[in-house]
Chains A and B, each alone.
Chain A
């Protein structure tokens, strides 16, 4: 295909995926989708389900998992072929990746030409491609509002499980399926709204694809998809070939699985050989009782995310992983089977990303990053409105993910208070949270001394302090990095660890599982305090420019004690100047 037409088609299909994202964000009910962009849209291969293109504003980790979700639908349609206009709905995390909050809508797509041929009596052909939409729904049953249940030992305590079923059959919405989903949620209205928003995104995708195919024809587009895949693979090979051959090892750890307080190893051997890369996770812990297991599809997706951050110029399609082999034993934490709990998948994939950054930093320090804060701190606070208040007796559920510092790069300090590498989420404004829920934030601030020291320091984590304004509420927290702080690379130091404190008696205390808290009872006027990690540093602190150290001190990013401890050379230089 001539390079010019290819560039044009590339832009057009990217735009279609982007616009599907925008449609869902605009009309979704769940803030997790609308504000936090915990959703994704893309086009997937009609036979293999491989990612052809993916929207740029959705959650990056879905790029890889959605291919598995589409594959699950392809399997299903082998047994019962799909009709044009069918849409499948499901949340099974073992087939479709991530966790049960993520509801996938998958629509086989036939081109106008295919539809015309089949209308004229031709035998049904496989779909030209699949359009898919995934979004994180607010509450899908299970033991804990919002579904982050740190004590789950089976998926059934996390959520209800839906296998791929027809949500839309030949263009008709099956309201019985919608009712099943709503009946299993504490927030049925939210589910109704999100489902319709996802349907709207798919309908838009179909309209745009029809227009594109009428303009260029099926063959041109098929060729373009193949060429873009090859291009990604070719770029990726070129990048890998630039890395020095060798085996680079990294062990990082999860605090615990929420059930037993024992660290869980993420052991990685990153092997570079010519143009190929192997990510071997054989030394990783075995599957665990608690909800930090992930499905293999989720592992593949997190490898993809880490590599895309290291090589951002490679296009977002399945070609990225062509020269990459991912190895993990069957009994691993990273290859969970039903009914292992997977609700805390975000924590595990963040650790996988960290491990890849650390191993890559040994091969090519200039390309890699210090570890980011490494936990999403999913916090839910819920209760019922007391008598006399507006909406008395109604249930309220505040659900929020919190931010922290990014790791430093070879060229700059890490970003303060950012979203996680697996995400493009924004945090809701304090004022929106306070207007919607009976809470007052008493601090919302950067956390001094939390950045990992280094020639380039990490970004700062944050301090959030929340006071309850209602009579009582229950609190759940799903976090990590409470025991193992985010590490630096290339000689850079660790960021501060995650610290969550809640009132018990007169004192503030940390939960037994560090950053996981279950059913903490709060009363009016009580406060909880969350201090999130900063990012890891890059390069030895001794090489940090004294002017930058002085500035950090002046701005209160660091204290004098921290400076004296980590940057003794600066104190000397300062003394010498005077």
Chain B
């Protein structure tokens, strides 16, 4: 036994499966594994997964983890009892939100904040908007509130004072005291978590962090314990919602940044696959059982959203990979409404009871049932392998009676209509992130993943006018691959709220240098090797009078190492102004229109400074994934079957996807099968296995060279 630390392992723990991706850095070899997730304690499934491929965990150099522990605790409201200490007069900020409601139409539904009103305490203190301390914080009141909260069973604390973004002094003093008397490390000051203007968003982000700390922390502790017991010594890193990784210590401090850990890892993998395959612009399409998640990668960069709402009133303000979700997955239910219109979703049969064909009690027809009826998936080879055989007859009967009859269609035509409506909803989501933001779809490739993404890739290509669809070699474990690839990244924000004309540029440069320093210290403290480091800054700016800002990338002041862009002679107002104008025009739509451009004679305001520090980890050469030499298309072929498409049954060839060699060309109609995913090649489409083992689909009449970085 060598004992050498040579494996980089990505582990993505989802609701159903724990996916693992192993990369042997010495031999350049990869392997994948899948094991059922263990509910209650995910660390068990995690360890079982590792042991599927490794006998000696001492061989692990880096272990990178995409986790849904935080996500689930938020969505299921299973965080820890937590308390809030806040400014007198403002205990209800969290519950009052921004005075919104969940839906435009219909007034039902109420809201239960994660910290109920009887665990929110007020203390005398007040800072005014420009930073002047009007009332110093009453530390005795803070102490009394903390003691009371402990009695009430709070395990973590948030201190959120009004205008703390402008001057954190009162909050800082309260936090210093609380850290002396609180029995654990879970004391959160809003100015440390998010020193940004807007009290509800800052409160919500801080409180959700506190709500998650005990849960995520104990999970990570258990996990580290189990790993140590089995001799693992390599560093454990956690994927953040921004697509970067952080150390376990940081994850314990800022668990709110793991809210979209898994999906973010998927997008990071997609970016790297696209980069190595030569696609600069990609729309990722992750299709699961209940939802279809889309995100945009433009010029190799995934889009980040400054703020995300996980559920009504559950706002997290921290950069996250921008993911647009619609309720259209394999389990989405098809129904005909009272106006006679066919609808697919948003209601889903999920995995329990699941589609009709699972035979587990589902009675309403789903997208998966339609795929089965039309031969796109095989009854004897269900995806995921939980069920031995799918019930075709039941699926057919449900579609015929619940969709076909009301619409006057036969079972096959009804099933095809379900898939068309589902595909058009997915196409709508793809359009929303691409065309609707001024991007030309012909410049983009779709990258489907998840078990069902490949079934719709062709339809998306045809409906949206995308140039290519690129199905990765292992679409079912893409987030685990992303874990292995992700860089370390830390985000910072500070509110300036100054007119550009009176902005102290030297002060701005000092703040940027300070962010760079704090970021570098975090990278230094991680026991990980970085190939290089980079640094980016953005200023949120607007015309004075507007309330929404646009993020404008700005160069770093001279002398900061790793800056993506540096201003040689230092920053100037003119430089910031032109940075704003470029970003503003872009936000208004890439096409130049006659109206809506720059506004003359109106000043500019700088609201927030944002910084991101990235430590780049060594990249995996994805050619390690390519099919073995000696494979042949012929040997990969399996018995063909009938598929129903465009109103008729046709004979489709069927292939074992993983056995296809590099360069294999497949013409539709065809089905590519692998253990955890299926690809359907529609008639009129064709595809080829590329150097990395990806299956790249296009219209058969489209012989244009592959779109690459332009």
Q: Do A and B come from one complex?
A: yes
Instruction: Verify A409–B99 contact, CB threshold 8 A.
Output: no
Output the least CB separation between B462 and chain A (Å): 12
A576, CB-defined interface residue at 8 Å: no
Instruction: Verify A27–B595 contact, CB threshold 8 A.
Output: no
A7 to B106, alpha carbons, bound, how many Å? 22
Instruction: Verify A193–B107 contact, CB threshold 8 A.
Output: no
Instruction: Verify B546–A203 contact, CB threshold 8 A.
Output: no
Known contacts A11-B425, A416-B110; is-contact A29 B596 (Cβ 8 Å): no
A15 to B199, alpha carbons, bound, how many Å? 32
Which residues does chain A contribute within 8 Å of B594, judged by CB atoms? Answer: 171, 203
Instruction: Verify A31–B421 contact, CB threshold 8 A.
Output: no
Known contacts A27-B548, A207-B591; is-contact A11 B424 (Cβ 8 Å): yes
Q: Is the interface of B mostly helix, strand, loop or mixed?
A: loop
Output the least CB separation between A63 and chain B (Å): 10
B89, CB-defined interface residue at 8 Å: yes
B562, CB-defined interface residue at 8 Å: no
Residue from the list A316, A415, A434, A440 in contact with B110, Cβ < 8 A: A415
Instruction: Verify A415–B111 contact, CB threshold 8 A.
Output: yes
Known contacts A409-B107, A417-B97; is-contact A238 B595 (Cβ 8 Å): no
Residue from the list B105, B108, B166 in contact with A409, Cβ < 8 A: B108
Known contacts A4-B417, A417-B96; is-contact A203 B104 (Cβ 8 Å): no
Interface residues as binary, A110-131 with B (CB distance below 8 Å gives 1, 0 otherwise): 0000000000000000000000
B118, CB-defined interface residue at 8 Å: yes
Instruction: Verify A11–B99 contact, CB threshold 8 A.
Output: no
Contacts of B654-697 to chain A: CB distance below 8 A:
none
Instruction: Verify B95–A417 contact, CB threshold 8 A.
Output: yes
B580, CB-defined interface residue at 8 Å: no
A418 to B110, alpha carbons, bound, how many Å? 10
Interface residues as binary, A49-72 with B (CB distance below 8 Å gives 1, 0 otherwise): 000000011001000000000000
Which residues does chain B contribute within 8 Å of A27, judged by CB atoms? Answer: 546, 548, 587-588, 596
B385, CB-defined interface residue at 8 Å: no
Instruction: Verify A418–B95 contact, CB threshold 8 A.
Output: no
Instruction: Verify B98–A56 contact, CB threshold 8 A.
Output: no
A430 to B594, alpha carbons, bound, how many Å? 37
Interface residues as binary, B74-114 with A (CB distance below 8 Å gives 1, 0 otherwise): 00000000000000011111011111111111111111000
Residue from the list A23, A193, A232 in contact with B546, Cβ < 8 A: A193
Instruction: Verify A432–B100 contact, CB threshold 8 A.
Output: no
Instruction: Verify A444–B90 contact, CB threshold 8 A.
Output: yes
Which residues does chain A contribute within 8 Å of B105, judged by CB atoms? Answer: 60, 308-309, 312, 316
A445 to B95, alpha carbons, bound, how many Å? 9
Instruction: Verify A431–B340 contact, CB threshold 8 A.
Output: no
Instruction: Verify A26–B587 contact, CB threshold 8 A.
Output: yes
Which residues does chain A contribute within 8 Å of B163, judged by CB atoms? Answer: 431, 434
Residue from the list A3, A202, A369, A432 in contact with B107, Cβ < 8 A: A369
B386, CB-defined interface residue at 8 Å: no
A313 to B588, alpha carbons, bound, how many Å? 32
A516 to B588, alpha carbons, bound, how many Å? 40
Chain A interface: which of B293-301, B428-436, B609-617? B428-436
B625, CB-defined interface residue at 8 Å: no
Which residues does chain A contribute within 8 Å of B111, judged by CB atoms? Answer: 415-416
Residue from the list B96, B108, B421, B431 in contact with A462, Cβ < 8 A: B96
Which residues does chain B contribute within 8 Å of A432, judged by CB atoms? Answer: 197-198, 547
A428 to B199, alpha carbons, bound, how many Å? 10
Output the least CB separation between B402 and chain A (Å): 14
B130 to A, closest residue via Cβ: A435
A57 to B100, alpha carbons, bound, how many Å? 12
Output the least CB separation between A52 and chain B (Å): 16
Instruction: Verify A199–B595 contact, CB threshold 8 A.
Output: yes
Known contacts A189-B602, A193-B602, A556-B118; is-contact A235 B89 (Cβ 8 Å): no
A193 to B595, alpha carbons, bound, how many Å? 11
> Chain A CB within 10 Å — which of B93, B117, B602 has the most?
B117
Instruction: Verify B338–A235 contact, CB threshold 8 A.
Output: yes
B503, CB-defined interface residue at 8 Å: no
B3, CB-defined interface residue at 8 Å: no
Range of interface residues on chain B?
35 or more
Residue from the list B89, B129, B588, B591 in contact with A431, Cβ < 8 A: B129
Instruction: Verify A427–B599 contact, CB threshold 8 A.
Output: no
Known contacts A15-B432, A193-B602; is-contact A426 B99 (Cβ 8 Å): yes
Which residues does chain B contribute within 8 Å of A388, judged by CB atoms? Answer: none
Instruction: Verify B89–A444 contact, CB threshold 8 A.
Output: yes
Instruction: Verify A3–B95 contact, CB threshold 8 A.
Output: no
Which residues does chain A contribute within 8 Å of B497, judged by CB atoms? Answer: 435
Output the least CB separation between B165 and chain A (Å): 7
A555 to B118, alpha carbons, bound, how many Å? 5
A432 to B549, alpha carbons, bound, how many Å? 13
A577 to B165, alpha carbons, bound, how many Å? 48
Which residues does chain B contribute within 8 Å of A396, judged by CB atoms? Answer: none
B101 to A, closest residue via Cβ: A418
> Chain A CB within 10 Å — which of B108, B343, B417 has the most?
B108
A492, CB-defined interface residue at 8 Å: no
Interface residues as binary, A486-523 with B (CB distance below 8 Å gives 1, 0 otherwise): 00000000000000000000000000000000000000
Instruction: Verify B96–A444 contact, CB threshold 8 A.
Output: yes
Instruction: Verify B96–A34 contact, CB threshold 8 A.
Output: no
Instruction: Verify A203–B100 contact, CB threshold 8 A.
Output: no
B622, CB-defined interface residue at 8 Å: no
Output the least CB separation between A529 and chain B (Å): 12
A95, CB-defined interface residue at 8 Å: no
B543, CB-defined interface residue at 8 Å: yes
Contacts of A261-293 to chain B: CB distance below 8 A:
none
A409 to B, closest residue via Cβ: B108
Contacts of A311-331 to chain B: CB distance below 8 A:
312-316
B710, CB-defined interface residue at 8 Å: no
Which residues does chain B contribute within 8 Å of A417, judged by CB atoms? Answer: 92, 95-97, 99
Instruction: Verify B338–A444 contact, CB threshold 8 A.
Output: no
Interface residues as binary, B186-219 with A (CB distance below 8 Å gives 1, 0 otherwise): 0000000000011111000000000000000000
Known contacts A415-B110, A417-B97, A554-B118; is-contact A431 B197 (Cβ 8 Å): yes
Which residues does chain A contribute within 8 Å of B595, judged by CB atoms? Answer: 173, 196, 199-200, 202-203
Instruction: Verify A412–B110 contact, CB threshold 8 A.
Output: yes
A571 to B165, alpha carbons, bound, how many Å? 45
Contacts of B311-353 to chain A: CB distance below 8 A:
337-343
Instruction: Verify B93–A435 contact, CB threshold 8 A.
Output: no
Contacts of A188-240 to chain B: CB distance below 8 A:
189-190, 192-193, 196-197, 199-204, 207-208, 211, 231-232, 234-235, 238
Instruction: Verify B100–A419 contact, CB threshold 8 A.
Output: yes
A12 to B436, alpha carbons, bound, how many Å? 11
A295, CB-defined interface residue at 8 Å: no
A234 to B98, alpha carbons, bound, how many Å? 36
Instruction: Verify B107–A415 contact, CB threshold 8 A.
Output: yes
Instruction: Verify B547–A34 contact, CB threshold 8 A.
Output: yes
Instruction: Verify A4–B420 contact, CB threshold 8 A.
Output: yes
Please name 30 pairs of A and B residues whose Cβ atoms are closer than 8 Å in the assembled complex, sorted by A. A3-B417, A6-B341, A27-B588, A28-B546, A29-B546, A60-B104, A193-B602, A196-B599, A200-B595, A200-B596, A203-B596, A207-B591, A402-B99, A403-B99, A412-B108, A415-B109, A417-B95, A418-B99, A418-B101, A430-B90, A431-B197, A432-B198, A434-B129, A434-B163, A435-B166, A445-B90, A446-B92, A446-B96, A555-B116, A555-B117
Known: A430-B90, A430-B199. 14 other contacts (CB 8 A): A7-B421, A31-B547, A193-B599, A207-B589, A234-B340, A235-B337, A315-B339, A316-B105, A415-B107, A426-B99, A426-B100, A435-B197, A440-B126, A555-B116
| B interface residues, Cβ below 8 angstroms from A | 89-93, 95-111, 116-118, 126, 128-130, 134, 162-163, 165-166, 197-201, 337-343, 407, 417, 420-421, 424-425, 428, 431-432, 435-436, 497, 543, 545-548, 587-589, 591, 593-596, 599, 602
| A interface residues, Cβ below 8 angstroms from B | 3-4, 6-8, 10-12, 15, 19, 23, 25-29, 31, 34-35, 56-57, 60, 171, 173, 189-190, 192-193, 196-197, 199-204, 207-208, 211, 231-232, 234-235, 238, 308-309, 312-316, 369, 372, 402-403, 406-407, 409, 411-419, 421, 424-432, 434-435, 440-446, 459, 462, 465, 469, 554-557
